[in-house]
Structures are given as structure tokens and as C-alpha cells.
Amino acid sequence: MADTIVDPQHPKADELYPLALLIDELKHDDVTYRLNAMRRLSTIALALGEERTRSELVPFLEEVTQEDEDEVLTVLAEELGKFGEYIGGPEHLHILIPGLEALSTLEEPVVRDKAVDSINAICDQMSVAQVEESVVPLIKRLSTTEWFSSRVSATGLYAHAISKVSATGQSELESLYKDLTQDEAPMVRRAAATNLPGIVRVLPDVKFEGVVYMMFQAQVLDDQDSVRLLSVDVLIAIAETLKEHEVTKYNSELISFTTALFNDKSWRVRYMAADRFEKLARALDSVELREKFVPAFVKLTKDSEAEVRTAIAKQIPGFSALIPQADILEEIVPTVELLAADSSQHVRAALASEISRLAPLLGKDKTIDKLLPTFLTMLKDDYPDVRLNIISKLEIVNEVIGIELLSKALLPAISELAKDKQWRVRLAIIEYIPLLAEQLGEGFFNKELGDLCMTWLWDSVFSIREAATKNLKKLSQVFGIEWTKQQILPQIVQVSTNANYLYRLTSLFAMTSLIPVLDQDTVAQTVYPFVTSLMEDPIPNIRFNIAKTFKVLADAYHKNCSSEEYEKIVADDIVPRLHKLAQDQDVDVRYFASKSLDEINNNSNNNNNNNNE
């Protein structure tokens, strides 16, 4: 067919050119050409029209599915799922099934997954009759084929088909799926377990018996832990569906299965159960919750595997929200104290990221009594991530116990962490300071943390110095211009004469970051003299940053001044100084000075054009 289409003697050769071009590109040795051709399928289809797309392009693409590389076939599988509008609408969707079926049987998982997604997209657009005529037979063929890869693909098609077919068709598909959950190939059973939650959610008859029960039981009892662990998500889907329909008669049985998963011999299964603990508890919320789930939770916090303890530590606040405060105090808080001293740093870090969310559940007095000591202990942890995670969530505790008490308890620890040898810890503190400043208020902040913020400007790590300059800008926005003029600007100006060029450079960065939040008078009286004083600095790095700062100054004047004032300041003060820097002996200084001049000139031209209009 391809040779006939590209034949130059063909009576409609001009009309066929788009398809001929596609064929040529798909024969190219370079995979990039073939990929581009596949991505242009919609354009080709539009050029051909619906009838010729159905009769010529789609059959040609079916041939391609057997020949090309996986990368190209992945794109093809994705594009075919969007082809309904190019072949004449839903009534013609069935012609796409053969090509996608071929793609869904290939060895490469990515290609198969894309083909399955496209078949599902097509199935959703089909009528019940079309699904039963085209998709159901496809599912049956894939489910009973010899190759396991086809059976794996089949598992991803059932949910969409079941939601469309009649009750008889649903029963037939359920029976076929049950066979897949008991397939001899572990990969097929894993795929069946992965896709079973989707089937449970679309079943119209909500019950935990018959085929559904047998499928779930097969997974829970599977000899492969990689299958059993997936039964956790199946259990959640079943429980949520039953709860949604207010079906409670199966709760006791479901809780028994859950308890079995919590005690599974494989740590991977226990890990999955721990990782989904809150979801399980919410889905199975009942009178038995405290009797069964609280002891199971405590037991998982003491699991022999650190991965399991890490997973359950992240579930603490979510699960605690479902149980009475008395149980939190008697059962959960003691386990929190144990996890805070866990031998695994990953467990402690996981706990640190979640522990603050317990404060709203406990209230002010009990947070101070039961939780704050653990907070302070973890702030001194040897592992940086533990300290970082605690610091990042302090605002939650602040809302419960108040900033005054929090500051008295935590400021000494924060001051210590601000000097931590790990620069990431210092960086985390800097990023938290503006929020803390807003909560502390100006007077308390100046007394306790003001000097600390300036100290960071001279840190040995560039990332800390950079963050400290941005921090000053945020603090200025919190406390206002007067605070900045009194507390920050004098110290920056003083450092501009320091013998260490890094200090001078950092002071320039700090001043430049403040320009956008300062008023015009402060810029004119303090910032401008400071900047011009560094123009003759012997270090080229400082001089070319001065050139950049002049552009920031020009932008600030442009924002705060009238057009006439802006033009005068730029023409009389900024441009002449940039011209001087543009003649500097250092090539970098000349480059950045010229760049700033160009940008300022462009702004002036745009300003003039706007005035003329």
C-alpha cells in the first residue's frame, strides 16, 4: 500500500503528499525524524480528511506497529487514543482497536501502558453496544493469550469496560478477572492487584462476597509479597466503597484482614500497611477502631524494620485525629517519645516533619507539657534533616501555645542552630526568620535576633550570604522603611569600607536587594552615595556589580518618580557614571556597564513612546 501511495504517477499524487511525506519520514534512519512524524499524525489526518484517514492512514499505521522502535511506538500509541475526531467520530472508533491491540501485546511496558490508556480513552467514548462488540472481545483475547505481557495489559482494561457494559457482561468480565488474580505468572497477578481497586470502585453492586471476595482473598494469601502488599490498596478501595454506600455488615471481616496485613511476615507488606494507615483507619472507621487499630499502630512504631517505623511515623497526626485525646496521650505520645530517640535518622526525620501537627489535637497545656520537651530534644538532634523538619513546621506549634512561650523555649535552640556547622541548617533558619519576625514583633526581634541576621551576611558559604541579603528585604517588608533605616542601612554602609572585598561585595548585594522596598528619599540620601563610593573599588567583581546596581536604581526611580524626574536623574547621574564604567580597563565591567546602558535606554525609549501616545 505504501508504494502505491507514494507513486508519482498516482492520479492524486498532490493530495497524497502529506501521507507520502509521513511514510518517507517513518523510513528515515534517524529516530528523531520518525518521532517527529508520529507527533504530526493529527496534522496529516486533518490534511487527508476523515474518509482517507480511515481507509489509508489507519491501516498504514497498523503496519508500523510491528516494525519501529519502542520510543516511536510509544508516541503512536498515545496519538491513536486522540484519533476519534480525525476518523469521523465515535461511530468509527472500532477501527483503531486492531492497531492498539497490537501495541498492547509488545514487550516494552511503556508502549503497552500507553496503548492501554488509549484503548480506555476510546472505550469511554463508545456506546454500550460498541464496547460489547469491540472492546470486550479484545479483553477476552488478551486475557487468555499465551504471552504474559498481553495478560498484564488486559488487567488495565477491565474497569473502563465494566463501567459501560450490561450486568451480564459485568459478571462475565468479573469471572475473567478472577482468573487473572490467580494467574501462574507473578507479574500478571501484580498487575491484577494493581488494577483491582479501579474495578471495585465501578462495580454497581457493593458487597464483599462472591467474586470480589475471592479476588481479594487470592491476593492476601498470595505467596509473593509483591502481590500481597498491593492488597492494601484493594482493601482501602473496598472499604471506602462500602462506607460510601453505608454498608457496614462487612466491617469486622475487613478489620480482620487489615490486622493480618499489619502482622504480615514480610516487612514490605507491613510497610505498605503502615504507609496507608490513616487511609485504612478512615475507610474502616467504626466502634472497633480503638480496640484494634491503636494497638496495631503502637506495634508498628516498634517494628524491627526502620522502613516500617519511618512510614508509620508519618501517619501519627492523621491517625491521631481519628481517636480520642485520651488515647493520644496514653498511647501515641509515649510512642512519639520513643521514635524521637530512634536509632534510625530517617525515622527521626520522618517524625520531625509531622510531630508539630499533634499540637492542635492536644491543645495548649498538653502541648507544653507533653510535646514541647520532645521538640527541644529533636532540635538538638545530630542529623540535620531532623532539625530542618522541626524548624520548618514551628508555626503550627506557635498557633497553639503562642509566640511568647514558644520564643522563650525555642529561641536559644534557634540561636544555636543559626551557628550550626551544617550550612543547610543555617539556610533553613534564615528562611524561617521573616515568619518568626512577624510573630515576635519588632522590639523582641531586635533584641533577640537582629544581630544574628546581620551576622549571616558575612558567612563563609555563598548560599548563606545570598539568602541573608534576600532575608533583609523580607524583614524590611515586615517592619517597614524606618526600621530598615535605623537597624540595617547603617551597618551595611559601615562594612563598605572593610578591607575584605567579600564583605564589600556582600554589602553591595544587600543594599541592592533593599532598593525596591525603600522610598525615594532614602535611595537618594543613603543608597546612591553608597553605590557611587564603590565605583573606584580595585576589585573588578565589585565594579561590574555596581554597573548592575545602577540599572536597579534606574528601575526604582522609574517606579517612584514622574517621567520628567526619571529622565533627569538618569541623564544627569546614572548614565554618565555608566559611561565611565563602560570605559573600564576590565572587560567584564565594560560588558555589564554597556548592558545596563542599553536596558536603561530601552526603558527611556518606551517611556517616550508611551508619552507620545
Which of 255-269, 433-447, 518-532 bottoms out in mean pLDDT, i.e. has the lowest?
433-447
Residue 234: pLDDT band (50, 70, 90) is very high
The pLDDT of residue 10: 42
Helix axes 17-26, 31-39, angle to 10 degrees: 140
123: Cβ–Cβ under 8 A, 6 or more apart, which residues? 131, 135, 157, 160, 161, 164
pLDDT at 85 over 50: yes
pLDDT at 165 over 70: yes
495-504 mean pLDDT:
88
Question: What whole-number percentage of the chain has pLDDT above 70?
Answer: 91
> 365 or 31: whose pLDDT is higher?
365
CATH classification of 498-607 is 2.140.10.10, yes or no?
no
pLDDT at 19 over 70: no
The pLDDT of residue 253: 84
pLDDT at 129 over 80: yes
Residue 299: pLDDT band (50, 70, 90) is very high
Dihedral angle sign, alpha carbons of residues 495, 498, 503, 506: positive
The pLDDT of residue 245: 77
Let me know: does 381 contact 348? Beta carbons within 8 Å.
yes
Cα(37)–Cα(18) distance, integer angstroms: 10
The pLDDT of residue 7: 43
The pLDDT of residue 400: 86
Cα(577)–Cα(435) distance, integer angstroms: 39
Domain segments of the chain as ranges: 498-607
pLDDT at 162 over 60: yes
The pLDDT of residue 265: 94
> 564 or 351: whose pLDDT is higher?
351
Residue 64: pLDDT band (50, 70, 90) is confident
Residue 193: pLDDT band (50, 70, 90) is very high
The pLDDT of residue 381: 84
The 3-state DSSP class for residue 332 equals helix
The pLDDT of residue 6: 38
> 151 or 49: whose pLDDT is higher?
151
The pLDDT of residue 65: 67
Residue 14: pLDDT band (50, 70, 90) is very low
63-73 mean pLDDT:
75
435-458 mean pLDDT:
79
